[in-house]
Structure 1
Amino acid sequence: MHWQAPFLVLGLALQATCMTMNRDIPSVIEARSAWTFLGCYTDNVSGRALPNGEAVPGGTNAMTNELCQSTCLADGFSIAGTEYAGECWCGNAIVNGGGPAPDGNAGCDMACKGNSAETCGGPNRLDVYQYSSGGTTGTGKRGLAYNNNNPDGNAEYANLFVGYSKITWGYDWGYPAYNLDSSFEFVPMLWGLPSGSDPSWTAAVQTPGTKNILGFNEPDLTYSGSSNILPANAAAGYVTYMEPFSGSVKIGMPNVLWNNVGSSSGGNYDSAVWTEYFLGNCTTCHFDFAAIHYYQDCNPSDGQSGAAWFQGNVTNAYNTLNLPVWITEFQCYGTDAQQIAFLQAVLPWLDSQSYVARYAYFGVFPDYLVSSDGTELSDIGVAYATT
């Protein structure tokens, strides 16, 4: 699936709904393991402890500690502080005599304007957090399927996940990375079949730090947001555009909708059969991992478990292809509560399967993994990042 296209699988319409989920906001902030709460600090208008006042997306009325943190980090600062309910201050050191308040946390008693469940400092008091990446990325399998469709035309929605150690990589159905935070590995994708030589793709693959590359996006499907390629043509494309990089980066197979049945771009056969024909035409190709998609109801109408359906599809892909599996897109259709329950069921399972190398839930957009105003993670996004 491409982020902007309408999509239909087995007669099920893609949907995402919003709900309020009761959760412990301080524990969510603490889950951003790279951010450490330093305490309530003194401040002074004549000499700021953190010298850089920053405007956050949504303005002062949207202020939360998490939003201030992501804003400071995006602007190159490692210390973030909220003050007087709606102010965000950033820096790389505490200056001008600021420090832990003599009365402890008592003076940091003003509720954040964007979330009354947490405090954002007080009069001349800062709730201060410090970021430390340690020069390393996280260790999890989880990734971000994102794009640059936001007012700044960059990866700002994806960068809201900075600091969550289970999130380690991202892709945007193409290249470049649009300033994806350096704590994430960016994985370029050759979305469709080029019409001729493609030096920009070569340059993307040869960018320092590139370790993995993704191939065609849903070439097995025929809707407007798919690359829609016949198996033989896709194989020829791999020989020309992917195989030259064998040995220098890890190469993924085409990203196919593994649970698609009935028809494909090749004819009246399933996507698994499309994949078989592709492999039969790509006998000189080298693959390091399989790449699959999955979309289905959270609670199938036949009463079976949506989580069990998903697990069965992933297991089948591995048993069929005998390669490590990347699930580069997956989502269950349902309410926020149903999607959260699905994630809570499948994420520990995915993390425990040695043959599942990476996965990315769809997708890093408002009303999906990001809040409707694009300023923070949605409830689904929090579940994805922390479960």
Structure 2
Amino acid sequence: MLVRLALAALSLHAVTAAPAPQGATTWYAVSTTPQGDTVSPPTHWYAVDTSSTTTPSSRTTSSSTVASSTSSSASSSSSSAPASSTAIVSSKKGVGYNDEYLTRELAISWAYNWKSRRGGELSEGVTYEPMLWGRNATGWATDAQLGLDEGASALLHLNEPDIWSQSAMNVTEGIDSWLTNMSPFYGKTNLVSAAVSNSPEAANLRWLQYFFGNCTQCEQETHAVALHWYSDSFNTSAFKTWFTDAYELLQKPIWITEFGVQRFTSSSNVTQKQEFLEDVIPWMEAQPFIERYAAFGTFPGRFVNDDGSLTALGRTYSETV
């Protein structure tokens, strides 16, 4: 999500107590603190416009197909690293970062800041990927081209349109945004879908299914899907199963652009969080269908301290491959 600077008290994805509106439209509710000032949360439940869209067919494959069908998308590790780090830098590993607390200590190969233009100075060899966060596309075409001129390898589309406190856009709006803002860059770079959540109270994968089911051009132009994963549990099996199932359903390479155990900012359970990362990172590295991943993120108290030095958790994220 956009900028969770005050995440300590976050209660993400809790269902609201108010009853859902009635009618043919399918409604989902999320109760969160609005993040940033990019959008104001509506005063009603958020709906996926299923009543005006075509239900897509499910596309599934066997588990063996998952590993083989996208072998050409697998990323390998390189020996390059930030000047301040001796860690091996995976070409898959990135991070979402806050401009003010950008650190050059993390061993990463790419980064994004939920914006269309880079902020701060990234380490040599770290690629910045521009993002169109939501409805406001002012300056997007210029910023996206600038990003490509500076070495961006992809453009990212929308941040959690399935959650009303984030970009909060229904499928029709998402399609219009894609055709207007992303399609002009098709053939120039990799285009990555809107990032949806794993919340059972949000539309998540259904949003992408309806997006692809109602826009053949959008599906053809989408190189990879962006997905987010959060949980109160340290259950790594659930993490692995969710992404494997998502790939089998959507049949697109996956960019995990946010993931973490809930309350990742707290100082408690650091050892459990380290063990979680030490389990899921090698797994993500080994999966051909996962092209990129970025934990959330470089903010004080999580991976970095106020002075930019790495926390214990940040060192684990940086050094685990």
The verdict on a shared fold, with TM-score over 0.5 as the criterion, is yes
| Matches of 1:34 and 1:170, distance apart in 2 | 14
Contact persistence 2:117–2:144 (CA under 8 A): no
Between the two proteins, the alignment pairs up a number of residues equal to 248
State the partner residue of 1:250.
190
Shift in Å, 1:196: 6.1
1:190 aligns with 2:132: yes
> Normalized per residue, which structure has more helix?
2
2:209 maps to a residue whose letter is E
**From 216, 231, 237, the counterpart of 2:158:** 216
Q: How big is the shift at 1:273?
A: 1.5
- Please list, as runs of the form range in 1=range in 2, the aligned pairs for 1:196-211 lying within 5 A after superposition: 198-211=140-153
Deviation at 1:34, TM superposition (A): 4.8
Alignment correspondent of 2:200: 261
1:298 aligns with 2:240: no
Q: Hey, what's the Cα distance between the residues in 1 that align with 2:98 and 2:233?
A: 25
- Tell me the amino acid that sits aligned with residue 188 of structure 1: P
CA shift, 1:210, in A, is 2.0
Letter in 2 for 1:331: G
Displacement of 1:139 in angstroms is 4.0
Deviation at 1:380, TM superposition (A): 0.7
Q: Which residue is 1:370 aligned to? A: 304
Range 283-292 or range 204-213, more displaced: 204-213
Give the 3-state SS of the residue equivalent to 1:182 in structure 2: coil
Structure 1: any 5+ residue segments left out of the alignment?
A: 15-31, 36-68, 71-130, 265-269, 300-305
Q: Secondary structure at the match of 1:254?
A: strand
CA distance in 2, matches of 1:288, 1:145: 20
Q: How does 1:280-319 map to 2 (within 5 A)?
A: 280-285=213-218, 286-299=221-234, 306-319=235-248
2:297 corresponds to 1:355: no
Give the direction of change, closer, same or farther, for the CA distance of 1:376–1:33 in structure 2 (3 Å limit).
farther
Determine the C-alpha separation between the residues in 2 that align with 1:347 and 1:215. Answer: 24
Provide the residue aligned with 1:329 in structure 2. Answer: 258
In structure 2, relative to structure 1, the CA distance for the partners of 1:239 and 1:34 (3 Å cut) is: closer
Matches within 5 A, 1:104-143: 138-143=89-94
Deviation digits for residues 162-214 of structure 1, max 9, x if unmatched? xx3xx211111113222222310111111112366744334334423121111
1:363 aligned counterpart, secondary structure = strand
Conserved in 1, the CA contact under 8 Å of 2:116 and 2:140? Answer: no
Residue in structure 2 matching 1:160, options 105, 128, 147: 105
Look up the match of 1:181.
123
Partner Cα distance (2:291, 2:148) in 1: 22
**CA distance in 2 between partners of 1:148 and 1:202 (Å):** 18
Task: Tell me the residue number matched to 1:229.
Answer: 169
SS at match of 1:242: helix
Q: Which has the larger radius of gyration?
A: 1
CA distance in 1, matches of 2:302, 2:81: 24
Give 1:261's aligned amino acid. Answer: P
The question of whether the paired residues in 2 share the 8 Å contact of 1:307 and 1:345 is answered with: yes
Q: Deviations over 1:226-273 (max 9, x none)?
A: 11111110111000100111111000010100x2113x4xxxxx3222
The amino acid of 1:238's aligned partner reads W
Q: Partners in 2 of 1:255 and 1:197 — Cα distance?
A: 21
Per the TM alignment, residue 317 of structure 1 is displaced from its structure 2 partner at its CA by: 1.2
Cα separation, partners in 2 of 1:352 and 1:195, compared to 1, 3 Å: closer
Distance 2:240 2:97 in 1: 24
Paired with 1:185 and 1:33, the residues of 2 have a C-alpha distance of 13
Q: Would you say the 8 A contact 1:168–1:184 is kept in 2?
A: yes
User: Match of 1:242, as an amino acid?
Assistant: M
Whether 1:170 and 2:111 are equivalent positions in the alignment is yes
Q: Following the alignment from structure 1 to structure 2, what is the Cα–Cα distance between the partners of residues 361 and 202?
A: 23
Distance 1:175 1:182 in 2: 20
Please give the secondary structure, in 2, of the residue aligned with 1:221. coil
Instruction: Name the CA distance, whole Å, in 2 between partners of 1:198 and 1:349.
Output: 35
Deviation of the 1:328 alpha carbon: 0.2
Give distance in 1, aligned partners of 2:13 and 2:238: 14
Question: Quick one: distance in 2 between partners of 1:139 and 1:34?
Answer: 9
**TM-score calculated relative to the size of structure 2:** 0.70
Q: TM-score, normalised by structure 1?
A: 0.59
| Matched residue SS, 2:149 | coil
